[in-house]
Amino acid sequence: MTDVRRATEDDLPTLRELWLEFFRESPLPPHVDVDVEHELEEVAQIVRDQVALLAEEDGRPVGFALAMAKTPRLARLSDLYVVPDDRRRGVASALAREVVAAFPEAEHVTLEVGASNVPARAAYARWGFGEDQLQLVAPRAELERRLRHEAASGSFGSIHVQSDDLPAVERAVHQFVPRLPGRSRGSVIVPPRSGWISVYDDAADRDPKQLARLGRELAERMGAVAVAIGVEEGTVVRFTLFENGRVMDEYLSVQEYYGPLPPGDVVALAANPTVVARLTGADPGAVRAAALHASTPADLPPAPELAASIARTMGIEGAETGWNGAAEQPGAIRLDRT
């Protein structure tokens, strides 16, 4: 039978060995450095001033718990450990019950657990613990790279018309671009590459809605397939696939980036590889692999890289840039807005 009692200073050597076993068994994330001796000094301080519990089986130490009062209404369970051979026998819950009993005035108990510690998280959830505040960690180099991309990109986009008729696309741009609201520094058209003519416009570049509108109008005027693809707010990728002015497919890399959506709308923003393949000649498997989704932009490649990767599956070049970089592309034609 498990006996749980308050630890005393005479138990410090035992607690030290148990804590070291706990430390050796718990892999530390790469961003954490631990001063072991300092931690052991804190264990001794908790024994003296707070709540330290020792679990024993027939006098043999099998686990320990350390806890403290954060405020009169909040207790913190800082350490809970059971030796491997005595787990799943109720030792951890016995220790936790004594922790709760030691703080009769507390209204809540808090603890921290590693995200990868699945067994412990399952036990804590069973006891009623739920997520409150999440501590997020990012490798500095990756964070710097993504922030640099975001600062440099913002919102931008381009339209790619499946046509080799450059003069016809120029005429269509001359006709439709002046209708776009807002001031524009003009448009850039890049001659056909692999059967796609690329169109960049300053006003549409900065406004995803205008980008989609121009893409639809060009597809309708040309009687062709057109893809409007861009990066929004520097973080998410959207493409809209048109045929003869009708929306045939749409994709957003983080489907609920702008807020919760009905399930049907979430599915509608997932990209349909069969439709994309039929209209662009792309390989469906390649589209499926490239059109990634996640619940947060942090789980995806940087948005310009993702946009370029998706566009490549359709044979489209130049999707990683917007109006600012369009003029540098080979054969680019600058059109002033009139």
Q: Is residue 137 part of a domain?
A: no
Over residues 82-102, mean pLDDT: 94
| pLDDT-based confidence at residue 108 (cuts at 50, 70, 90) | very high
**Are the C-beta atoms of 95 and 65 separated by less than 8 Å?**
yes
Q: For residues 278 and 327, state if they share a domain.
A: yes
Greater confidence (1 vs 113) lies with 113
Check residue 26 and give its pLDDT: 80
Check residue 151 and give its pLDDT: 59
Sheet with 74-82: list strands edge to edge. Answer: 2-6, 51-57, 60-71, 74-82, 108-111
Q: Is residue 167 part of a domain?
A: yes
Check residue 66 and give its pLDDT: 97
Q: Is the pLDDT of residue 301 over 80?
A: yes
DSSP 89: S
CA distance 138 to 179: 44
Q: Is residue 282 part of a domain?
A: yes
Number of folded domains that form the chain: 2
Percentage of the chain surpassing pLDDT 70? 95
Q: Is the pLDDT of residue 111 over 80?
A: yes
Q: Is the pLDDT of residue 199 over 70?
A: yes
Q: Is residue 134 part of a domain?
A: no
Q: Is residue 83 part of a domain?
A: yes
CA distance 110 to 147: 33
CA distance 82 to 120: 11
Express each pLDDT in 122-162 by its tens digit: 999 999 999 888 888 888 887 776 676 655 557 899 999 99
Which of 127, 159, 185 is at the close of a domain?
A: 127
Nearest alpha carbon to residue 108 among 73, 81, 61, 139: 73
C-alpha distances out from residue 171 to 165, 176, 186, 289, Å: 10, 9, 14, 36
Check residue 181 and give its pLDDT: 66
Q: Is residue 136 part of a domain?
A: no
Which of 69, 103, 127 is at the close of a domain?
A: 127
Q: Is the pLDDT of residue 62 over 90?
A: yes
Q: Is the pLDDT of residue 327 over 90?
A: no
Check residue 148 and give its pLDDT: 65
**Is the model's pTM score more than 0.85?**
no
Sheet with 246-252: list strands edge to edge. Answer: 246-252, 236-243, 225-232, 156-162, 196-201, 187-193, 333-335
Q: For residues 96 and 166, state if they share a domain.
A: no
Calculate the average pLDDT of the chain.
91
Q: For residues 100 and 161, state if they share a domain.
A: no
Q: For residues 306 and 175, state if they share a domain.
A: yes
CA distance 325 to 203: 14
Percentage of the chain surpassing pLDDT 90? 72
Task: Give the CATH number, domain containing residue 42.
Answer: 3.40.630.30
Check residue 56 and give its pLDDT: 96
Q: For residues 204 and 319, state if they share a domain.
A: yes
Check residue 165 and give its pLDDT: 96
Q: For residues 237 and 265, state if they share a domain.
A: yes
CA distance 84 to 86: 6
| Containing structural domain, residue 29 | 2-127
Q: For residues 154 and 113, state if they share a domain.
A: no
Which of 96, 127, 158 is at the close of a domain?
A: 127
Q: Is the pLDDT of residue 45 over 90?
A: yes
Pair of tokens at residue 153? 């990109």
Q: Please report the DSSP string for 116-170 in residue order.
A: T-HHHHHHHHHHT----SPPP---HHHHHHHHHHHHHHSSEEEEEEE-S-HHHHH
Give the contacts of 195 (CB within 8 A, at least 6 positions apart): 162, 163, 164, 315
Q: Is residue 133 part of a domain?
A: no
Q: For residues 208 and 257, state if they share a domain.
A: yes
Q: For residues 24 and 57, state if they share a domain.
A: yes
| pLDDT-based confidence at residue 324 (cuts at 50, 70, 90) | confident
Q: For residues 178 and 116, state if they share a domain.
A: no
Pair of tokens at residue 210? 């205008």
Q: For residues 150 and 207, state if they share a domain.
A: yes
Q: Is residue 189 part of a domain?
A: yes
**Are the C-beta atoms of 219 and 211 separated by less than 8 Å?**
no
Check residue 182 and give its pLDDT: 63
| pLDDT-based confidence at residue 17 (cuts at 50, 70, 90) | very high
Q: Is the pLDDT of residue 237 over 90?
A: yes
C-alpha distances out from residue 188 to 167, 173, 335, Å: 13, 9, 6
Q: For residues 252 and 299, state if they share a domain.
A: yes
Amino acid at 207: D
